Amino acid sequence: MTIRTLTHFVGGEHIEGTSGNFADVFNPSTGDVQARVPIASKEEVAEAIAVAEAAQPAWGATNPQRRARVLMRFLELIARDTDELARMISIEHGKTFEDAKGDIQRGVEVIEFALGAPHLLKGEYTTAAGTGIDVYSMRQPLGVVASITPFNFPAMIPLWKMGPALAAGNAVILKPSERDPSVPLRLGELLIEAGLPAGVCNVVNGGKDAVDALLNDDRIKAIGFVGSTPIAQYIYETAAANGKRAQCFGGAKNHMIVMPDADLDQVADALIGAGYGSAGERCMAISVAVPVGQQTAEALSAKLAQRVSELKVGPALDPLSDYGPVVTAEAKERVESYIQAGIDEGATLIADGRGYVVPGHEQGFYLGPTLFDNVTKDMKIYREEIFGPVLAILRAESYDEALALASDHEYGNGVAIFTRDGDTARDFTARVNVGMVGVNVPIPVPIAYYTFGGWKKSGFGDLNQHGTDAFRFYTKTKTVTSRWPSGIKEGASFVMPTM
């Protein structure tokens, strides 16, 4: 098998890495190394920033409608190449082909929203704010911004970051995950094909040195990040200390509250999809089911046990696979350690995903679906994000107890409630201390013209991803107070201006 050597993408060209450091890119379905990706030095990052800084002024001065036309053409190219991009995701990340197409589609929807930049960038105007005085505001690009994106959505999150940033007139440095960098590199190529000027969007692969270089360079005006909570907090704090805007999203522990009046067949199907889809490697995955009342818990546990036993785990490109492998051997080992922790702490193991073997793919990074019952809130498997195909059932005696579980957890990304009672649902959505809420919707990822963001340790920063918040984040507001001479003679005034 030939192992490819990947590059950076800077100034509209593929640039070989010069640091001498590389990371392996695996095919999780087989366990084979399929590529080597260069890990940029601080000097390489600085060179990419210089290219972006040189390209940004002309792009920022381009009419917003013309910038939107470039993104419109970009969408056409993504549509043309969707199958190719999805296959690239599957063989580097491990999610199924259909799931990979969903990854792309959710990113495309944000680009579609960003086409409205001519309207979204409009300011405000007030005539006669004072005698002969007009006041107006304008939104202007920040300059060069950086996006640090995770392995679990190699298309969606880069598109969420790049679309609004580029539409607003910024230049972008994208640092994708080194685990699955091929799609971000390909997106850079497609932007050039769509007519984006060279240097306006650059893809630089790297690790902590590259991240620190972005954080410490004064030319970078804003940082967007999605990943684990400790790194999100580190990036947010470092960016703030360096005077940069930061928008950082971390981990999650998403609950699904199941009321006694819920349709349990619908609930079981929702939990199977939301808990095990993409091998649980989603920040919006449901990892905790909270049935209210023992009767509800017993019935739900039995239904989940049956459905889990029917799941098919296999290669990412096998159309019969419900989900594929996790991304690396290290990820597999980490999830297995959590399963053992759950056993050691006394949770009831209904289904054990360890030791799962796919014939013909024995070296792949596979985990079968794992299901725990009788989990308690002091257990590690409840407190921490596992990021794998592990679902925990934590039983609650009452609605208020279930509400408190989701509200009091240190993570506050997403939550769902399944019920047929409108009053309960309305009360829950108003009171729960979580950023994104689903009512009979298991994965409450907002549509592109609303914003995406969690609370508490799931999100750091004042503005969320996509929607109008994205344009607020990637622009600065300038306010002008204007008066033209009208023949009035005035002396100097030493009083603070008022209306």
Catalytic residues: 283
Q: How far is CA 310 from CA 303, 335, 339, 348, in A?
A: 11, 21, 20, 20
In contact, 286 and 442? CB cutoff 8 Å? yes
Element (H, E) at 187: helix 182-194
Closest CA to 56 of 465, 474, 472, 473: 474
Which letter does DSSP use for residue 2 in this model? P
The encoded tokens of residue 372 equal 């725990």
How far is the C-alpha of 225 from the C-alpha of 149, rounded, in Å?
6
How far is the C-alpha of 230 from the C-alpha of 273, rounded, in Å?
28
Q: How far is CA 281 from CA 33, 89, 95, 153, 390, in A?
A: 21, 14, 9, 9, 10
Closest CA to 271 of 257, 286, 261: 286
Q: Position of tokens 């911004």?
A: 145
Beta-bridged to residue 244, according to DSSP, are none
DSSP per position, 326-338: -S-HHHHHHHHHH
Q: For the CA atoms of 313, 315, 317, 319, what is the dihedral angle to 10 degrees?
A: -30
Radius of gyration of the chain (CA): 25
Which letter does DSSP use for residue 497 in this model? P
